[in-house]
Structure 1
């Protein structure tokens, strides 16, 4: 009997949750992300034929695609239910293109903004068609990135180093980091002073800061000037000249958008943007809540909208009235204005139901709990009453000098009772000093200062970008979209263009050189406004106001001209070496900064004549210093091969014992060290002997162990490197497991020796067919041997 409906989602976790809400007439499968893409080994875009893309099925998705085809062949209708954004729309379209050739059944597009029973069932009932405009916008973005990456990256390979990449958006983010670093390096520190007076009245201490001299803003540039003013204040009298008290209202902020979630998660939870999206994705796709089963806890996490559904507003207001009281509930639900560029396709990020974080904490991981808690609290707080603050400003005169004291007292917490706003990296210079409650004061009242003290300060440069402030800046400049912020940040870090110091981005020397080349020769392409305008073009394509091929044509005309100019300008430019300005300690030649698997390092410019390499450190002014290699630590352990003392050396995997007679004696040992520093050699378990003969050299096989468990290895190693999978029989003896038997056992879920023996009794004809099928699958899956190329440039 044929199944009635097939639902295809992106992730297995989401499939599991949705499967619970749909009846037995539905089968839910996962595409596990994209199934087709532009080829990795070639450009894949026909520039002369309307930018026609050539899509290929992804090699690692063969098994997934076969599974989808098999399920589709039994279905009466297919629902394409990938994520409700451009990328998700494109995934549905690619799945459709693969399956339409296999089956002639209706295809419907389903959009889930949240994974709850009601939302899923309503989405199935209201299914529609694939939005080709969204698909076109995604295709345009993908082709734009392919054009930029594939044409500019080779210039970086030629002029700087292999395996570098230029990206349409990542390079603009790198430019922001590099320009901020240049601004910091060029900053000239200036001295300035503040003067504070401490007062006490009615046992209430408070502080006032000098704000004006002769009616003008107080500007004190040196200690002598500050001391003159302090002396004048001490010889004069203080009198309250002005006093004003106002009640201020603090409105709550909207519920989370993607960028605001990434910013708050960075500040409050110390999560990277990438981790934020991973944890949020798990909450969206569903968490097992015990008796409630798998439940989606938040709405879709890639959004720039602050809109909230009427249902959510209703239960949110009920929660506030019940939990906090009616005084915390505004008369009407709050509606927040959206920004100009907001697509408003989805709601804000909010909980799907009033599950209090503490009530479901036992079912969540630590990261999930903390993430869900700030999402829950931010949403509830967004619908709570204003906080009321009594703000008092007092001016105190002393001759020609005016001091100001500011007191802010929260008289009604409102939304602040649940969610406090955390800001970081905000400049403080010039901000008024605030204190808590001030005592009762009256105009004309005389005051006596307990202490008058000057404070020296120095101006500070703009801070380096953190993940939170970089995402904020990208959003403000219109660069990237909610779905891309995390990948932008992780890409520039993965490419070793930037590194984090104290959770702040610092450009590497490689990043600076790459940025300089790109900005010098592709000034327009990596201009902030140009990149933002391209994002707006993609929005217009999605809205149906612009044809995608036309938009690409306009872009490519300008790009081709700029690219030709850059090629011509770079013809005579020699390969750029990143100089360290440090002589090689081995041969006195110049050291260069190179980029390796573990980051930047120093290498001699005369390599291979001189093979000197070293790590380095960098001070606040950017000066490099060679990091000395760890010296061998002597021990009193005697080498059991040559009787010399052993020393502790360091490797990538950590410390180990080695003979001090190396390289004559290459003896090495693992060890442990207790709290008192006593060393104990870890004695390796001797290889277990067997009676199994090696089928390659005839020597005896032995049982060895690895991270994956036990296996059989030839005792003649390293001359013979034969190895076999193994199991143990009922007597505990090692038994060889051939690859085809292991694959069959894994496929059929047979984990015991008895099950393996039962499989061996299968009729010969079926066994031969299974073996042939296994061989055929291996042939299909085996990648062709190709020359290794640099990684494909990514956005």
Structure 2
């Protein structure tokens, strides 16, 4: 008989963790939430402290039965759902369903799915965090109250099929207010003049007109622009001033959920849902040489904090792979903004031994592209700032001053 039951959310994560823990453990997946407010009624007792009434989600009966059967044959039960507010609520609902209050449950917090992280978490279980459970319940109740009570009002006053929500209604207001600003904006015409130039020993470059005599170049209409161009014809363009300065560009902080989604959209053309789906796969684990391994830390986070052992590992990798001259004297630390929950680390690789190029053959193309993006961002965040040579050239043509700038 197995000694312990471990409950996780996804079958993929269950498979990975089961390999790490061995035959003394049974690892089962609950498939996410197993209980929720009823679909066809409010499910919230407003007169009695907004008490929620939960029912089993349709289709989850077999999963609950399997969890109960496994719980009856084990000595200990570990709840290893995701280490966030939703995961805490899922753990609480699983505990309520499979044993009520008759047995003690231990909570396991897994911020990365690697063998060392799983074994460490198993050695340091905690209790259920009722504050997180209550926070999730409050959010769910608000969702239901706004959606369930406001949506019918919209059906009557606007048209059927519209929906309201705790988040979407506020977002819609922001969109409408911004649209009103756009509609009410009175455009002001302006023109700019750019000269295409080439010196005797330079490649072609462009310079923009910035001053006319000693005034800022304000060109209100096409007629003014044409008169300036006409006046410039035949004039000699001469370099008047060259300014050079050294500028440091600090590396960006490691990814949070939102910055990962933004960068993946910009660089990889991934939707937010696609990014999070692939990140979930990388977090839960992929097969590397027959060993299932989680490649990144938990991907739902608002924090830029990094564990010191991960920083040390990154600095050692940079020194070995790129040279000591790329390693800053002190580790780069990125303070969190005000209001950040900081429940989890930033998104980073779980091990510097899993270089993207070395494990590429084990990954699907999109998995590789997203993992490489996360790897590069994390590695760069622990490097020295880039040093740029910024050059600004001012060029005069009679009373007209043009300016060109660039950096290398």
Q: Deviations over 1:695-749 (max 9, x none)?
A: xxxxxxxxxxxxxxxxxxxxxxxxxxxxxxxxxxxxxxxxxxxxxxxxxxxxxxx
Shift of 1:243: 2.6
Q: Does 1:279 align with 2:278?
A: yes
Q: Distance in 2 between matches of 1:348 and 1:178?
A: 33
Q: Distance in 2 between matches of 1:197 and 1:261?
A: 39
Within a 5 Å distance, the mapping from 1:210-609 to structure 2 comes to: 210-234=209-233, 236-291=235-290, 293-354=291-352, 355-409=354-408
Aligned to 1:116: 114
Q: Distance in 1 between matches of 2:273 and 2:172?
A: 17
SS at match of 1:360: helix
Shift of 1:370: 1.1
Q: Distance in 2 between matches of 1:55 and 1:307?
A: 36
Q: Deviations over 1:653-702 (max 9, x none)?
A: xxxxxxxxxxxxxxxxxxxxxxxxxxxxxxxxxxxxxxxxxxxxxxxxxx
On the 8 A contact 1:76/1:105 being kept in 2, the answer is no
On the 8 A contact 1:11/1:32 being kept in 2, the answer is yes
SS at match of 2:138: helix
Shift of 1:395: 2.1
Aligned to 1:43: 42
Shift of 1:184: 4.8
Q: Does 1:21 align with 2:20?
A: yes
- Matched residue pairs, number? 406
On the 8 A contact 1:76/1:106 being kept in 2, the answer is no
Higher RCO (CA-CA < 8 Å; seq separation 6+): 2
Q: Deviations over 1:414-434 (max 9, x none)?
A: xxxxxxxxxxxxxxxxxxxxx
SS at match of 2:5: strand
Q: Distance in 2 between matches of 1:279 and 1:131?
A: 28
Shift of 1:106: 2.5
Q: Distance in 1 between matches of 2:396 and 2:57?
A: 76
On the 8 A contact 1:6/1:26 being kept in 2, the answer is yes
1:126 paired residue among 124, 127, 130: 124
- What is the Cα-based RMSD across aligned positions, in Å? 1.8
Q: Distance in 2 between matches of 1:202 and 1:382?
A: 41
Q: Deviations over 1:36-82 (max 9, x none)?
A: 11111110111111111111121211000000000111111111111
Shift of 1:343: 0.8
Shift of 1:131: 0.7
Shift of 1:235: 5.3
More helix by share: 2
SS at match of 2:193: strand
On the 8 A contact 1:305/1:343 being kept in 2, the answer is yes
Q: Does 1:193 align with 2:181?
A: no
Shift of 1:330: 1.6
Q: Distance in 2 between matches of 1:284 and 1:235?
A: 65
Within a 5 Å distance, the mapping from 1:168-183 to structure 2 comes to: 168-183=166-181
Q: Distance in 2 between matches of 1:174 and 1:290?
A: 48
Aligned to 2:146: 148
Q: Distance in 2 between matches of 1:66 and 1:304?
A: 36
- Which consecutive segments of 4 or more residues in structure 1 shift more than 6 A? none
Q: Distance in 2 between matches of 1:264 and 1:7?
A: 35
Q: Distance in 2 between matches of 1:173 and 1:363?
A: 40
Shift of 1:239: 4.1
Q: Distance in 2 between matches of 1:284 and 1:190?
A: 50
Q: Deviations over 1:293-340 (max 9, x none)?
A: 111111000000111112211221222222222222222221111111
Q: Distance in 2 between matches of 1:244 and 1:187?
A: 38
Q: Deviations over 1:143-173 (max 9, x none)?
A: 1111101110001222233332100101222
Aligned to 1:66: 65
On the 8 A contact 2:68/2:99 being kept in 1, the answer is no
Aligned to 1:413: none
Within a 5 Å distance, the mapping from 1:692-707 to structure 2 comes to: none
Q: Distance in 2 between matches of 1:358 and 1:236?
A: 56
TM-score normalised by the chain length of structure 1: 0.49
Stretch moving more, 161-170 or 114-123: 161-170
Shift of 1:212: 1.4
Q: Does 1:203 align with 2:201?
A: yes
Q: Distance in 1 between matches of 2:102 and 2:93?
A: 16
Shift of 1:174: 2.9
Q: Does 1:87 align with 2:86?
A: yes
More strand by share: 1
Q: Distance in 2 between matches of 1:73 and 1:119?
A: 27
Q: Distance in 2 between matches of 1:242 and 1:198?
A: 18
SS at match of 2:191: strand
Gaps of 5+ in 1: 410-795
Q: Deviations over 1:472-500 (max 9, x none)?
A: xxxxxxxxxxxxxxxxxxxxxxxxxxxxx
Aligned to 1:9: 8
Q: Distance in 2 between matches of 1:351 and 1:228?
A: 59
On the 8 A contact 1:350/1:376 being kept in 2, the answer is yes
Stretch moving more, 210-219 or 188-197: 188-197
Q: Deviations over 1:371-391 (max 9, x none)?
A: 111011111111122111111
Aligned to 1:596: none
Stretch moving more, 338-347 or 213-222: 213-222
Q: Distance in 2 between matches of 1:6 and 1:379?
A: 35
Shift of the 400–201 alpha-carbon distance from structure 1 to 2, 3 Å rule, reads closer
Q: Deviations over 1:414-473 (max 9, x none)?
A: xxxxxxxxxxxxxxxxxxxxxxxxxxxxxxxxxxxxxxxxxxxxxxxxxxxxxxxxxxxx
Q: Distance in 2 between matches of 1:162 and 1:405?
A: 58
Shift of 1:132: 0.8
Q: Distance in 2 between matches of 1:14 and 1:367?
A: 19
